[in-house]
Structure 1
Amino acid sequence: MNTVSDPQRQEVAEDVGESMSSNNRKAMGAVLLAVALASLDTAIANTALPQIAADLHTTPSASVWIINAYQLSMVATLLPFASLGERVGHKRVFIGGVSIFLIASLLCALAPSLNALTAARVLQGVGAAAVMSVNVALIRFLYPAHRLGRGVGLNALVVGVSFAVGPTVASLLLAIASWPWLFAINIPLGLLALAFGLPNLPATPKRDALFDPLAALLNAVAFAALIFALGHAAQRASWQTVVISLGVTLAAGVLLIRREAGHRAPMLPIDLFRRPMFALSTFTAICAFAAQGLAFVSLPFFFENVLSRSQVEAGFLMTPWPVMVAAIAPIAGRLSDRYSPGALGGIGLGLLCIGMTLLALMPPHPSVLDISLRMALCGLGFGFFQSPNLKAFMASAPPERSGGASGVIGTARLLGQATGAALVALSFGIAGHHGPVLALAWGAGFAAVGCVASALRVMGGKVSIKH
């Protein structure tokens, strides 16, 4: 039973969305700033790994846990936080997440050893998961139905651009400061998000149900084991380790589904996956973010090792992708308020497939213009996909399940990115020097599959949403 009625929820959404008062703009700013920090820290540490490994006197292979710890804790706790948000309110989870993220960032900056930094990154991932589990749910209550596409378009812009420019931001900071500043810079920005969010974020509906710690534990074990299995499979580790990890994933998943059978709002939202639009949107998102992950991890190697460009040139050659995402995501969000998100997403992923195919088929000595046009086409396609897909996600879930839907969005993104990164590692193992080309080809394949899945949503008719 909800503590806020549907008419009250309608009034809240319309009041804040129609005029977007100063307070509500500040609330939206708090959400987007926190989302940018969480997204940047997904990718920003990659660039600093060599320097961190040298300063902490550890091996490059061991330093990879700095990345894995963040991703594992995020994917393991996203859905539990989304479920918690539906019970205690999305604002509380968001504020708590930003606070945890700030404390963890300080611990990262002060970490004296690899073990300490890894533990701080686990905590930082927990805070980021809390933010990313409810960000879209909060946006849903900041915009009325006919303007929701604009809100999710801004969110898509921030997520896409933050993830894309993470390596560039890290390179600029490392040019003038040491690696702890990559984490310390989060503190003033996070405090700003708290200052805007605490007084301005709206109170959202709550469900009269107890939070299930055992279900949260089973969910965490299932997803953490899955990411662990993907990483080890990509590194071509012993098949016993991979099989055991997948077995743990399956066992924990089955136990979780059985425990929550018949629950009105299960932590793993099986009930929402029975809705074809929601299930197809999830599958489309995983494919799209796998393609993006394959591209962003492999392209620096492609530019430097295959095309013999310098590190500085490689950074600039990455720029057209995020620039086009930034330009097109808000436009696509507005279009999704008028046209089928399935059709728009299909067009976007079709363009992404073409762009990645053209990158994989690059001639031996391409000009900067040749590369930039292909990168811009990829960014155009991904930006055109992301906002409509977010709209389709939220439109296909009832208002009282906004938290669960928001959690699935974040989980699908992380699963896709982790899959893409794992496949890049596998590509290097299979093709050696030509691994980046194989990775780009796989990325084009994922985009093509996602394009078909998105187009299938058109058969479901026009998506409507009710607050």
Structure 2
Amino acid sequence: MHTVSRGALVSLSLSMLLAALGTSIANVGLPALAHAFDASFHAVQWVVLAYLLAITAVIVSAGSLGDRLGRRRVLLAGLLLFAVACGLCGLAPSLPWLVVARVLQGLGAAVMMAMTLAMVGDTVTKERIGRVMGLLGTMSAVGTAMGPSVGGMLLSLWGWQALFLVGVPLGLLAAALAYCYLPVDRQPGHRPSDERFWSPLKNPSLRVGLVISALVAAVIMTTFVVGPFYLSRGLGLDPAWMGLAMAVGPCVAALTGVPAGRWVDRLGSQRMTLAGLGVMALGALLLSLVSGLPAYLGSLVLLTTGYSLFQAANNTAVMSDVEASRRGKVSGLLNLSRNLGLIFGASALGAVFAWATPDVTHALPQSVAYGLHATFAVALGMILLAAGIRHKY
């Protein structure tokens, strides 16, 4: 791969990593923020929620803006906004200031996420899109996995401000790389005057890709919502061991993303989407039946490996056949479907677990295990639904 492509891929990879890190690194600082600002847990939760809600609210608009004004130009603006917002977060004198700065950081992250996927087709040949999608999936997983460990280290050395200030030099580095290596924007092509905001959704193949992306994201979110309760209350793990067990999923995703992308390029996105859903279904089936730490971790490895394969294949299928003038908008829709899936997984499948284990604080380990099994039985149904939709269309 020639030098320009390497520099471009480093820029896109760093953009994706920073957007993911923006969520996970803040979580570890919530207790310190509650202490620093003398605030309740519910109040400091807005530090995380403001970022996620900002991304969800504007990501489709950010993608559409890239199509109209130029994707490289808009990505540079997003990276600079992200870096400035990180600085404002680190300098925040009060909790409301920090929450507002996190909204700005989320707006920058929305642009970064939308433009990163959209620019793959501008940067590499069609035959290599799968492996680059796999690489970006890996960087997202690495960003998620790094948050607790890197954040904990920064927190202990320099305090909560360092959780946000670290994004300033990294955001500026990504912007410099994007400026030097990403292809210069072409003049936008002619658009029909009646082009509507949601017009890409007329494509049935795209609709299918977005629906199954949301279903699968909901299932993956369940591991982060239900997993900690099962590991702590069901298996009695202390926080340190629970943290290690929780890191298994993101680490597996980080290791399998690039190989998954290569398989997609070699064997085709349709076949690999179904293969990924099949592996996920096996993992969810085991999670709905087995108990104990080794069985839980083995099932989680299967589920996450299938997710990596699905992500690389589905993202490739959605983005490969999109005309260049709509890539930003479709990338925004793809990210939006994933975010909505994460929110649905946290609320709806979390509600299934709460229904199956009513009093989780005082529940017996067997009751918590039953809640896990019931939740992943529903999750298995959602994966099979996704596979059925994908196979039919």
Q: Same fold (TM over 0.5)?
A: yes
Pairing partner for 1:417 from 339, 342, 350: 342
Q: CA deviation at 1:451?
A: 4.4
User: Within 5 Å, which residues of 2 pair with 1:88-107?
Assistant: 88-107=69-88
1:463 matched residue in structure 2: none
Cα RMSD of the aligned pairs, angstroms, is 2.5
Q: CA deviation at 1:294?
A: 1.7
Distance 1:437 1:275, change over 3 A: farther
2:280 matched residue in structure 1: 352
Distance 1:414 1:52, change over 3 A: same
Distance 1:59 1:319, change over 3 A: closer
TM-score normalised by the chain length of structure 2: 0.90
Q: CA offsets, 1:107-159, max 9 Å, x none?
A: 11111211011101100000001111111111111111111111111111112
Partner letter of residue 57 of structure 1?
D
User: Within 5 Å, which residues of 2 pair with 1:216-235?
Assistant: none
Contact 2:30 2:44 in 1 (8 A): yes
2:207 matched residue in structure 1: 279
- Which moves more between the two structures, 323-332 or 133-142? 323-332
2:359 matched residue in structure 1: 432
Contact 2:87 2:164 in 1 (8 A): yes
Q: CA deviation at 1:312?
A: 0.9
Gaps of 5+ in 1: 1-19, 211-260, 461-467
Q: CA deviation at 1:347?
A: 2.3
Q: CA offsets, 1:344-381, max 9 Å, x none?
A: 22222232233234335443xx24x3333222112211
Distance 1:180 1:441, change over 3 A: farther
Q: CA deviation at 1:97?
A: 0.5
Is 1:328 the counterpart of 2:256? The answer is yes
Provide the rounded CA distance (Å) in 2 between the counterparts of 1:437 and 1:45: 32
Query: SS where residue 318 of structure 1 aligns?
Result: helix
Partner letter of residue 86 of structure 1?
D
Partner letter of residue 77 of structure 1?
V
Provide the rounded CA distance (Å) in 1 between the counterparts of 2:383 and 2:349: 19
Provide the rounded CA distance (Å) in 1 between the counterparts of 2:90 and 2:324: 39
Distance 1:121 1:74, change over 3 A: same
Q: CA deviation at 1:332?
A: 1.8
Q: CA deviation at 1:447?
A: 5.2
Is 1:299 the counterpart of 2:227? The answer is yes
Provide the rounded CA distance (Å) in 1 between the counterparts of 2:248 and 2:101: 33
Pairing partner for 2:194 from 245, 263, 267: 263
Contact 2:212 2:390 in 1 (8 A): no
1:406 matched residue in structure 2: 331
2:269 matched residue in structure 1: 341
1:76 matched residue in structure 2: 57
Contact 1:164 1:296 in 2 (8 A): no
Distance 1:435 1:65, change over 3 A: farther
Pairing partner for 1:445 from 353, 378, 389: 378
Q: CA offsets, 1:236-262, max 9 Å, x none?
A: xxxxxxxxxxxxxxxxxxxxxxxxx97
Gaps of 5+ in 2: 361-366
Contact 2:230 2:372 in 1 (8 A): no
Provide the rounded CA distance (Å) in 2 between the counterparts of 1:40 and 1:454: 30
Provide the rounded CA distance (Å) in 1 between the counterparts of 2:281 and 2:142: 19
Distance 1:441 1:161, change over 3 A: farther
Pairing partner for 1:35 from 12, 16, 24: 16
Contact 1:278 1:396 in 2 (8 A): no
TM-score normalised by the chain length of structure 1: 0.76
Provide the rounded CA distance (Å) in 2 between the counterparts of 1:138 and 1:415: 23
1:232 matched residue in structure 2: none
Q: Percent of aligned pairs with the same residue?
A: 30
User: Within 5 Å, which residues of 2 pair with 1:170-209?
Assistant: 170-207=151-188
Provide the rounded CA distance (Å) in 1 between the counterparts of 2:93 and 2:372: 36
2:133 matched residue in structure 1: 152
Contact 1:30 1:196 in 2 (8 A): yes
Contact 1:424 1:439 in 2 (8 A): no
Is 1:372 the counterpart of 2:353? The answer is no
Distance 1:301 1:61, change over 3 A: same
Contact 1:359 1:371 in 2 (8 A): yes
Provide the rounded CA distance (Å) in 2 between the counterparts of 1:23 and 1:157: 21
Provide the rounded CA distance (Å) in 2 between the counterparts of 1:39 and 1:444: 29
Q: CA deviation at 1:101?
A: 0.5
Query: SS where residue 58 of structure 1 aligns?
Result: coil
Provide the rounded CA distance (Å) in 2 between the counterparts of 1:426 and 1:173: 34
1:229 matched residue in structure 2: none
Contact 2:145 2:251 in 1 (8 A): no
1:245 matched residue in structure 2: none
Work out the number of aligned pairs and report it. 385
Contact 2:284 2:379 in 1 (8 A): no
Provide the rounded CA distance (Å) in 2 between the counterparts of 1:100 and 1:339: 39
Q: CA offsets, 1:373-431, max 9 Å, x none?
A: 22211221111111001101112422221111111121112111122222365356543
